[in-house]
Amino acid sequence: MVYNNKNTMNEALYLKKKYVYLFKKACFVFVFFFSACFIFAGKNSSQRSYFSNGWFWAVDEGESRVYKPMESVDLKKLTPYVTDGSGFIWLKYEFEIPDNLKGSNLSIFIGCIDLAAEFYLNGSLISTAGRLPPNEFCAGAAAVACTFPYFMLNMQESNTFLIKLFIDGKGGLKQIPFLSTYHDVQAELENVTFISKMLNLMIAATEIIMSIFYFLVFIRNPKDKEYLMWGLTLLGTVFYLVPYYIDSNLLLWNSMSYLTFQKLFASIFAFVTGFFATSFMIHFFHDRQSKSVVAIRLVLLVLPILITLYIPSNNIFSRFLPVLFLFLAAQIGFAVFSIIRNFLNGRIKQVIMLVSGFIPVLIGLVLDLIIKVMLEDTSLPLFTVFGWELTGGFFMFILTYRFSTYRKTAEYLNEKLESEVADRIKELKETNEKLQMEQDESNREMDLAVHVQRSFYPQIITSLNGWDMAVHFRPFAGVSGDLYDFYIKGRELEGLSLFDVSGHGIAAGLITMLSKNIVFRVFNENRNEKLPIVMEKLNEAIIKAKGSIENYMVGLILRVDPDGTLEITNAGGPPPLLYSNRSGTVSPIQTDKKQFGMIGVADLPVSFQNVTFSMAGGDTVVFTTDGLTEATNPAGEEFGQERLIESLCNKERKTADQKLAGILKDLTTFVGSEPLRDDITLIVLRKQSDTDIEELEAYGDLEELEEISDIDELFSGSDSLGIETMR
């Protein structure tokens, strides 16, 4: 126990050191990355003349504009200066050219602006950024700079620089403009554009490649949906970042209004990306979502999108977007719930791995809140975007590692499986050889049992005074649970019995061999007793002989009295059918008195009744076990007593052989390809008349037997003892 605990502690310590190392590495990359951004953003030149103080503003009222002074810090957010947050504002700055810049090719660095603007020097238009109404569009993510034509500048006097800025819900200058040489301004323009635009463009390109990679991994492993969801999350991020790396002069935007552009990329793709990101975090733990949870999440996705589509203006959109993001917060709440639940369920390793991946984006979010919201400094880029890129890289490492682990595990299992399969095949081969030997031995024993049982049953009798008889005996499984016997004295038939033992196979066959001699003995020793009493004595003898064996029997005994009267007592077997040759009708032979019980069940009350009847010449009695009437066709229908009666009524079948062959032929036609599932014993007993003896002899020795033999081939699917025919 101490050894196991020690191993567990070592493993936990190793995992802790591993994740601390990964966290430190991520933080180092994060700090290094943003330090570089600060260096680029903070680069300065002693030649620059910043327009930091002395700004004036005025609303667009034609030639009667009245300029008022304003603080330079207000340049970043000019929405309060216009009515309802939408309209034009004029910004004016008067400057003189410093001595150190006189004679140089001068430019002014303006930086990134919202939304669109025109720039004037001493009353002349020198440049534009974005598109002004009526087809307004933002200037884009790139920084703006203007070159001052030398002939427009007043070298010895004051110059006036004007900015006509369009504001709609948001607007302002993100950096403080400055005057400097052309080369200095171009260098700063490239630095700022790299941070505000090109870096985002590279991030988007990287995420497209990463999303394709995850899609391919998902195709290889469709069960691991976290790869699909993370790929869709990255792809959604690419579209969400479009405003941060597009140019306003792209032909794509010429047919799209700025409001539609904002709705699509700043709102709809934000909600779609949040939905996929939440799905990724849930599938990361392989959690299953109920239908109700999926429905709620879809509502949180669709509802803000529908609201966004109905917003009428940019001004309202800018004000209402933070409220809509509450839906996104609720969406992410499901991921937070999944994280907490898995943490409480002990999946701490997976939770730490997931939360660690989102640390860079969380740090970037905090920095943006401090710098852009609290300090109101819009000159720096969005750190959340860069943090998101680091998060994407982190999960690329994690998911790739997970995929690699799965693959190595699968390869190991395949190799191990091949080895185990080979060993198993060898074991199965040896087992099959052993089973084959045992099966051969079992077959030999079964053949012996079949031979022994067959020797117990009556053999073919060539003639019997007054009776024409035929028997079909078909075991279901080698040995049969059906038992029949004829009681003959000389050439006179004194009776017969037919019983069906419960069950199949060897056990039922042994009971038949045990019972046959008992039935024979009880029948012969009680010739003067009433047949119900004989059946009761048989029941007592069978119970005593078989002991605790659970098998029981149902069946009947027929006794032929010296005066030709026939008497039957039936103990639960199918009732025999009596065919009247004179009327052509069939009636079951059964008592209308109350009787109950079966043979061989200890402590079970029994009450047997007998039925007495007589037969005229040409009349026929058919005895059968339930294996015949309960035989089914492919549709599941039983052959039944009605079809047996219909077959028996065929007047073209005269002899017992013909009737038996006809019944079997009708049975095989009915069952078709459906296999038999029970033993079948069929006995046909026909009373001869003086007029048909010559007809019976005219059939020859084998005519009916050949027909029956053809029927026998239809039963070749089961083990057969053949057909026994008595005449």
pLDDT at 24: 44
pLDDT at 298: 95
**What is this structure's pTM?**
0.54
pLDDT at 167: 92
Provide CATH code, domain 457-726.
3.60.40.10
Q: What is the pLDDT of residues 371-397, one digit of tens each?
A: 766 776 666 667 877 787 788 778 878
CATH 2.60.120.260, the chain: domain bounds: 49-191
CATH 3.60.40.10, the chain: domain bounds: 457-726
Position 659, amino acid:
K
Sign of CA dihedral 627, 632, 637, 643: negative
Q: What is the pLDDT of residues 601-624, one digit of tens each?
A: 888 888 899 899 999 988 999 999
Q: Using 50, 70 and 90 to split pLDDT, how confident is the model at 282?
A: very high
pLDDT at 1: 39
The beta-carbon contacts of 120-124 under 8 Å, at least 24 apart in sequence, are 120/160, 120/161, 120/162, 120/163, 120/164, 121/146, 121/148, 121/149, 121/152, 121/153, 121/159, 121/160, 121/161, 121/162, 122/152, 122/153, 122/154, 122/159, 122/160, 123/160, 123/162, 124/152
Q: Using 50, 70 and 90 to split pLDDT, how confident is the model at 10?
A: very low
Whether residue 208 has pLDDT greater than 70: yes
- Dist. CA 115–CA 169, nearest whole Å: 9
Provide CATH code, domain 49-191.
2.60.120.260
> Residue 596: enclosing H or E segment and its boundaries?
none
Q: What is the pLDDT of residues 622-644, one digit of tens each?
A: 999 988 988 999 988 999 999 99
Q: What is the pLDDT of residues 319-336, one digit of tens each?
A: 888 899 899 999 999 999
SS3 letters for 236-289?
HHHHHCHHHCCECCCHHHHHCCHHHHHHHHHHHHHHHHHHHHHHHHHHHCCCCC
Write down the mean pLDDT value for the chain.
Answer: 82
